[in-house]
A = this chain, B = another copy of it.
Amino acid sequence: MFGFFERSWDPAAKHCYVTGGSQGLGLALALDLVKRGAHVSIIARNQARLDAALEVLEEARLDKTQQIHAYSFSLATFEESKAALDAACAVHGGRVPDALFFCAGASTPRFFVETSPEQLEQTFVDGYWVQAWSALAAAKMLAKQRAKGVKIVFVASTLAYMSFVGYSSYAPAKTALRALADSLRSELMLYDADVHLFCPPTMRTAGYERENLTKPAITLAIEETDEGISPEDGARAILSGIRSGQAHIAADFLTHLFRASTRGSTPYNNPIVDAVLGCIAWIAVPVWRRSVDARVRKHREDHERYLQTQGFYDAD
């Protein structure tokens, strides 16, 4: 959409490391990369889903020399994330991958006041640490190997730019991921590495179906007009964004609005287009926010009844 300055980045014969690669966005991206001739390693926990994904990827291979592998690891700790990366790099002589795509993650929307401390920490693991640990392992590896030109892609969310009721655990984790990407864009220049952040809107995946199970009614209502994109759209947006050298990649107009008006010190995708988007956002975002605020305020009595049925006022 805004790819006026497309540079070339050809994944052919490159080692691409994809976490969360057994389903949803990760699988769509891995498939796209295999079709472009890349060596692809996918990481996920569930072995059955990895096997099924590997079959899909194998069918799409361009030639026999492509290294296509699946590894079962949890990425919840640094040690596991490092072990996963080491395992995937072993067949490539231990060299850091040419490109790393961190697609692992999950969202569990909830009312803050109903969230347990354990749930709040877990959502940070699912939303932040599963990618931050992989980034730490990869950064240490590329610095030690003095590797040049490595690409790191984080996957956050439109909620890395803004937030509202229901996302008090997810939005902080995803916003933190945005700040991590911005920090590393600066620091990893020391190693000539490129850092990108993809902020997808709602994606129609199994993960999205799961997240709707715990989503507060008011949050669902605010999102009801949100059609979302397919994981394939998301994968295309990532690869197009990398080719355009975009620090922050978006796949829909709404996220572009928030991206352009939540700039921090992030480089513009296009200074003129982003300025126009920023002006639209200056008017449109407050209109949207006021309508959301009004809905939240109107929901007060319903909410108190809901808390009552949940036994919230009786618990210690």
Contacts and interface: CB of A to CB of B under 8 A. Distances in A.
Interface of A: 77-79, 111-113, 115, 117, 120, 124, 128, 132-133, 135-136, 139-140, 143-144, 146, 159-168, 171-180, 182-184, 186-191, 258, 261-268, 271, 275, 278, 281-282, 285-286, 288-289, 292-293, 296-297, 299-300, 303-304, 307, 312-313
Contacts of A135: 112
A117 B144 contact: no
A139 B112 contact: yes
A285 B266 CA distance: 9
A161 B261 CA distance: 12
B262 A187 contact: no
16 contacts: A77-B117, A112-B135, A112-B183, A120-B132, A128-B176, A144-B312, A144-B313, A146-B304, A161-B265, A163-B182, A165-B190, A171-B180, A175-B175, A189-B293, A265-B289, A278-B278
B117 A136 contact: yes
As for how many copies of this chain the complex holds, the number is 2
Given A136-B120, A165-B190, A187-B165, A286 B262 contact: no
B187 A183 contact: no
Contact of A286 (B143, B159, B268): B268
A215 B238 CA distance: 34
Contacts of A268: 286
Contact of A184 (B112, B179, B261): B112
A159 B180 CA distance: 11
Task: Give the 4 A-B CB pairs with smallest separation, nearest first.
Answer: A175-B179, A78-B117, A162-B265, A172-B176
